[in-house]
Structure 1
């Protein structure tokens, strides 16, 4: 059921504490932790504690939690001291866009040049 923890979801297991992660922030609705394969000096994932397969599904079902992710992404950027130099918030949706864990999540990237298009 949407919103409920999924037994086979890596991020649900991080939320429950069954899988370790380097948590940098936590709220009542979100968890932020360092990516294990960083693509920039600052690379933190911000996830909702509820399970939805992608950002669009989460936003449609629980827009307040989607807003919490964005708010926390900004707080992570401030904590990591990349808010003044610039940072990127990325939501990958679907395998064609590079999504590998089907639990909504935002990547907060910073600490290096982030030209557009990415690559």
Structure 2
């Protein structure tokens, strides 16, 4: 059995979250530390620890997260302007909760690259 995370507690309603979407496979809620005017997390209800754990058996579930993202973009009227979807993997990828999740960011122009490597600037 996968280790319980803060996301498991949100799914089970053990802790509160500002839930904006739910179906039998996925849940979306607003990020508590938003990095854009619209920033939510889209998670599968079935725990998958990292992107490295995505396989043929759960690929459809992961694809469903992107379907949810498209629905949310249409519902919140930013599908035409655009948005960013990010899934971090492990420590160097910036993952802090080991239950995969899509960060959905919208409502402003996104730059690329998304950050500057401070080590290269020194």
Structure 1 length normalisation: TM-score? 0.90
In the alignment, structure 1 segments of 5+ residues that lack a partner are none
Look up the SS of the partner of 1:77 in the other structure: helix
The equivalent of 1:97 in structure 2 is 93
Task: Confirm or deny that 1:62 pairs with 2:58.
Answer: yes
Deviation, 1:60, is 4.3
1:76 Cα deviation (Å)? 1.4
Task: Name the stretch that deviates more: 74-83 or 63-72.
Answer: 74-83
Q: What runs of 5+ residues in structure 2 fail to find an aligned partner?
A: 116-122
Residue 14 of structure 2 corresponds to residue 28 of structure 1: no
Cα deviation digits, residues 76-109 of structure 1 (max 9, x gap): 1112211110101100001111111110000011
How many pairs align? 115
In the alignment, the residues of structure 2 paired with residue 67 and residue 21 of structure 1 have an alpha-carbon distance, to the nearest angstrom, of 23
Q: 2:113 pairs with 110, 113, 117, which one?
A: 117
1:71 paired residue among 67, 70, 78: 67
Can you list the C-alpha shifts for 1:37-77, whole angstroms capped at 9, x where unaligned?
A: 00000101000001111234134441111011110011111
Higher radius of gyration, 1 or 2: 2
What RMSD over aligned residues (CA atoms) do the two structures have, in Å? 1.3
Distance 1:68 1:51, change over 3 A: same
Structure 1 residue runs of 4 or more that deviate by more than 6 Å after TM superposition? none
